[in-house]
Amino acid sequence: MRDDDADLVRRLQAGDEAAFAVLVRRYHAPLLRLASSFVSSRAVAEEAVQETWLGVVRGIERFEGRSSIRTWLFRILVNQARTAGVREHRSIPLDLGDEAAVPAGRFDRAGEWTTPPGPWTDEVDARLDAKALAGRLKDLVPELPAAQRRVFTLRDVEHMSAGEVCDILDLAEGNQRVLLHRARSRLRGMLEAGMGEV
């Protein structure tokens, strides 16, 4: 939570329009990213975010601070997105088919890397490659299954804690960990396939 969130909440509850503008600037883009993982079109995602802002205006006086303002906002958004027609289950089954979280040949019998990942370097070419890689990663995130995409977006893009993600998405801690691990593994696999690596 940001240091000034408590002050921002007080200002919002007092009807300060400038405080609402700060809140929108701070959280509109992250809310839109998450909404896009629930619905099929940008227009519907934007509508869910707008409904979230209306929910904030209608409910800020009842905000008690039991969670951060950020968690509260994202929870409102999840409810709005679900209302917009996306079914989300409370518990994601841990058995997601035959999909291996990590390719079988990546580790030996002792659990050691068969071929350790190479270290990142600070050379200019390496930094340029990293920038291209980040762009490719951004393109691949929408290819993740919806539940994995939501957890990955909140944890690795929005940098939320595991507890916040569980609260927002109404997931059990174990499910959140499995979904995040599978999302990261799948993205790594897609990146490697795109670079011609095995």
Among 155, 1, 158, residue whose Cα is nearest residue 66: 1
Contact partners, residue 38, CB within 8 Å, separation at least 6: 45, 48, 78, 81, 82, 84, 86, 88, 146, 150
Per-residue confidence band for 162, with pLDDT thresholds at 50, 70 and 90: very high
Helix (H, G, I), strand (E, B) or coil at 68: coil
d(CA 51, CA 115): 49
Domain containing residue 132: 104-194
Tokens coding 51: 């409904």
In this structure, is residue 24 part of a structural domain? yes
pTM exceeding the 0.85 threshold for the entire prediction: no
List the CATH number of the domain containing 43. Answer: 1.10.1740.10
Report the CATH number at residue 144: 1.10.10.10
pLDDT tens digits for range 3-60: 577 888 899 999 889 999 999 999 999 999 999 888 878 888 888 999 999 999 999 9
Q: Is residue 34 situated within a structural domain?
A: yes
- Count of residues making up the chain: 198
Residues 127 and 167 in one domain: yes
Residue 184 within a domain: yes
* C-beta separation of 53 from 143 below 8 A: no
For residue 34, the model assigns a pLDDT of 92
Q: Residue 132: which pLDDT band, with cuts at 50, 70 and 90? A: confident
Domain count, the chain: 2
Q: What is the C-alpha to C-alpha distance for residues 145 and 88, in angstroms, rounded to an integer?
A: 12
pLDDT of 25: 92
Are 120 and 155 part of one and the same domain? Answer: yes
